[in-house]
Amino acid sequence: MFGLFRRKKSRDALKQRLKLVLSYDRAKLTPGKMEELKGELLGVIAKYFPSDAEDYDVRFEQQGDRMVLVANLPIKNQRA
Amino acid sequence: MNAKAIVVTSGKGGVGKTTATANIGAALAKLGEKVCVIDTDVGLRNLDVVMGLEGRVVFDLIDVFEGRCKLRQAVIRDKRVDSLYLLAASQTKDKSSLSEHRMKETVRQLLEEEGFDRVVIDSPAGIETGFQTAAAAATGALVVVNPEVSSVRDADRIIGLLESREIGEVRLIVNRLRPAMVRRGDMLEVDDVLEILGVKLIGIVPEDEQILISTNVGNPASLNSSSNKTSASQAFRNIARRIKGEEVAYLVFDERRGFMAGLRKLFGGF
């Protein structure tokens, strides 16, 4: 009930920032290179499917001991 | 921990490596082990002053490496507790004679010929020669981390380097925890740090001004039995017992007092 009035905790912000920066550190990749990778990836996908460039997400994810590159690229619905 | 040679390291400077080395070394000696603590921070030695042994340094690690003295001559016995010894770093000589091979040989002699049960190696900050030398002889590592952004990031890097050296037993010490800030949500919790770094925990040490006071006078806090059950010195003594394989419960820090605290407890303790 007191939680309603609580400001956003700096702990949560730090945790998120650390997870992100460590994913780049561990993959030995800079955020700039990641943007490049996203762009190229999107270019390749666009050759095969019409996709929505606004609505995609490429990021690292820690899965247990492994670091995984996760790409989420929605394809435009073409039933029409 | 099975490791007889344990490096204390962190990447980032100023997180409490030297204090941890002095206190854990002293606590292990009090538990009956014959312990040698080694300072490998050549040019910036401090383990001697933290332990209050600065007046007794004659020979140092570089003297041993370059054959100017026998190992036994360079090892200083701490008079306050039987079986605690210090091998100081050099304050003046340069780092060029630091060598992984010589470090391994020195630690081997201490363990196999001089009858030491444990060697605790205080690493310098950074990831260069000094750290590499300190880690070379180690079979176990204590990574000291403060719950803040740069320390956690550097610890991650150090853990990677320790793993690439195939140091099997890597354990984490969360140092300078401020329980009141954790409760407010303004400091990482120990579980957050463990989740992010993915290594096993061996100690939680609270921020404690008693540590500064005891280093002011060169007397490792863990040598004195404090009445405060949640003090940093108690936390260090617990780490020593865990290193020896004992199961010791982690300290619980609950400073919540007063009316609001009472209310919160009443409503389920959030």
CB contact under 8 A, A18 and B196: yes
Which amino acid type is present at position B128?
E
Domain ranges of chain B: 5-266
Could you report the predicted ipTM of this complex, rounded to two decimals? 0.79
Q: What are phi and psi of B125, to 5 degrees?
A: -65, 165
CB contact under 8 A, B156 and A12: no
CB contact under 8 A, A18 and B152: yes
Domain total of chain A: 1
CB contact under 8 A, A15 and B188: yes
Contacts of B240 (CB under 8 A, 6+ apart): B24, B27, B28, B30, B31, B222
H-helix or E-strand containing B216? Answer: helix B209-216
CA distance B144 to B126: 13
Q: Which residues of A touch B198 (CB under 8 A)?
A: 65
- Helix B232-243 vs helix B209-216: angle between axes, to the nearest 10 degrees? 90
DSSP B126-192: SSSHHHHHHHHT-SEEEEEE-SSHHHHHHHHHHHHHHHHTT--EEEEEEEEE-HHHHHHT-S--HHH
Which three-class secondary structure state does DSSP give residue B37? strand
Q: Is the dihedral angle over the CA atoms A60, A61, A66, A72 positive or is it negative?
A: negative
CB contact under 8 A, A18 and B149: yes
**Residue found under tokens 């910036």:** B44
Q: Are B152 and B145 in contact (CB under 8 A)?
A: yes
Q: Which residues of B touch A65 (CB under 8 A)?
A: 198
Which three-class secondary structure state does DSSP give residue A38? helix
Q: Are B138 and B108 in contact (CB under 8 A)?
A: no
pLDDT on residue B269:
45
Q: Name the residue range of residue A48's domain.
A: 9-72
Least CB-CB distance to A25: which of B148, B156, B184?
A: B156
Q: Which residues of A touch B189 (CB under 8 A)?
A: 11
pLDDT on residue B18:
97
In chain A, the residue whose alpha carbon lies closest to the alpha carbon of B154 is: A22
Q: Which CATH superfamily is domain B5-266 in?
A: P-loop containing nucleotide triphosphate hydrolases (3.40.50.300)
Distance of residue A52 Cα from the nearest chain B Cα, in angstroms: 33
**Interface test mutation site (partner A, options B156, B170, B197, max chain A beta carbons within 10 A):** B156
Q: Which residues of A touch B192 (CB under 8 A)?
A: 11, 15
Confidence of residue A18 (pLDDT cuts 50, 70, 90): very high
CB contact under 8 A, A22 and B160: no
CA distance B4 to B120: 8
**Interface test mutation site (partner A, options B186, B191, B200, max chain A beta carbons within 10 A):** B186
Residue A61 in any domain: the answer is yes
Beta bridge partners of residue B122, listed in sequence order: B8, B39
Least CB-CB distance to A25: which of B157, B186, B188?
A: B157
DSSP state letter for B202: E
Beta bridge partners of residue A62, listed in sequence order: A67
pTM above 0.80, yes or no: yes
First to last CA, chain A: 49
Residue A80 in any domain: the answer is no
Residue A37 in any domain: the answer is yes
pLDDT on residue B270:
43
Q: Are B74 and B56 in contact (CB under 8 A)?
A: no
CB contact under 8 A, A26 and B153: no
The whole-angstrom distance between residue B223's C-alpha and the CA centroid of its chain comes to 15
CB contact under 8 A, B270 and A12: no
Beta bridge partners of residue A71, listed in sequence order: A58
Residue A64 in any domain: the answer is yes
DSSP state letter for B95: G
Tens-of-pLDDT digits for all 270 residues of chain B? 999 999 999 999 999 999 999 999 999 999 999 999 999 999 999 999 999 999 999 999 999 999 999 999 999 999 999 899 999 999 887 778 889 999 999 999 999 999 999 999 999 999 999 999 999 999 999 999 999 999 999 999 999 999 999 898 999 999 999 999 999 999 999 999 999 999 999 999 999 999 999 999 999 898 887 667 779 999 999 999 999 999 999 988 876 555 555 455 555 544
CB contact under 8 A, B156 and A15: no
DSSP B31-74: TT--EEEEE--TTS--HHHHHT-GGG--S-HHHHHTTSS-HHHH
Closest CA to B42 of B94, B119, B106: B94
Question: A with B: how many residue pairs have Cβ under 8 Å apart?
Answer: 40
Q: Are strands B75-77 and B118-122 parallel, antiparallel or unpaired?
A: unpaired
Q: Which residues of B touch A61 (CB under 8 A)?
A: none
CA distance B222 to B232: 8
The whole-angstrom distance between residue A39's C-alpha and the CA centroid of its chain comes to 13
CB contact under 8 A, A22 and B189: no
